[in-house]
Amino acid sequence: MIKKNLKTKFVNLEKVRGAMIFDYFNPGISHILKNSGCEFVIYDMEHGGLSLESFKTLSVTSRGVGIYPLIRIPSLQYHFISRSLDLGAYGVMVPMVKNKNEANSIVSFSKYPPNGIRGAGFGFVHDNYISTEPIDVMKQSNENLINIIQIETKEGLDNIDEIAKLDGVDCLWVGHFDLTNFLGVPGDFRSKIYKDAITKIKNAANLNKKSLGIMVSNKKDFEYYDNFGFNIIAVGTEMSILQNAIKNLIN
């Protein structure tokens, strides 16, 4: 069953630190991240080849060690959202969200009636295989799951104010590299165009009291975005972090 702790921090705009995992989909990763101080882990289906069956194992092990499992699905489709939540995701990240209608669909697909159209199934991973009162499960899930909306296209940026206003949108997440691509300045994070864009997203988040998230790969970027006002920060990718750590040891 979804618990309040992480959602409360998102709602209260508290600083929360975690990781994004793209390739190392083994049960031990949840222990490693928990021991590193992460509060959440986002398992990636968009680029990393993760299956829902594998996510189920990762979800169970993550919940077992006390780190919140979230998932980035590959595209906005009902079955990805509903099945991920049934398999124990505390929240769903959706890439390439372009407008209010798409954001509304995410909220609708993730919530049980009367707030949405999520189908009901109980006694599975999401409620820890416990036979309990379904009405309570649905109510708590509607209140406490986390919807993370990725802003990484020009259209999404243009519509950021309408997206940010929606109830059920809990976090605006900057997909920084794709955002620079679609703004015509690929990989140029010093560009005024990019900086103006993330300022616009930050202002929309602040105005509508939404959390603001991003992934970083080094300490310099971590400090930059932390100081900029991003309260939700994940580290990644684990491949480059491991590679750099080994290089520093042997060179």
Q: Do you find a cis peptide bond into 199, omega within 30 degrees of 0?
A: no
Cα–Cα distance, 244 to 156 (Å, whole number): 33
Residue 173: pLDDT above 50?
Answer: yes
User: DSSP secondary structure string, 86-126?
Assistant: HTT-SEEEES---SHHHHHHHHHHHS-TTT--PPP--SSGG
Residue 1 binned pLDDT confidence (cut-offs 50, 70, 90): very low
Q: CATH number of the domain at 111, please.
A: 3.20.20.60
DSSP class of 39: S
Read off the pTM.
0.95
CB neighbourhood size of 1 (10 A):
14
190-225 tens-digit pLDDT = 999 999 999 999 999 999 999 999 999 999 999 999
Task: Give the per-residue pLDDT at 131.
Answer: 81
Whole-number percent of the chain with pLDDT over 70:
98
Residue 4: pLDDT above 90?
Answer: no
Q: Which range of residues forms the domain containing residue 96?
A: 4-250
118-127 tens-digit pLDDT = 999 998 899 8
What is the number of residues in the chain?
251
Cα–Cα distance, 35 to 49 (Å, whole number): 25
Q: What is the mean pLDDT of residues 151-177?
A: 98
Helix 4-11 to helix 134-144 angle, to the nearest 10 degrees? 30
Assess contact for 39 and 45: CB atoms under 8 A: no
* Number of domains into which the chain is organized: 1
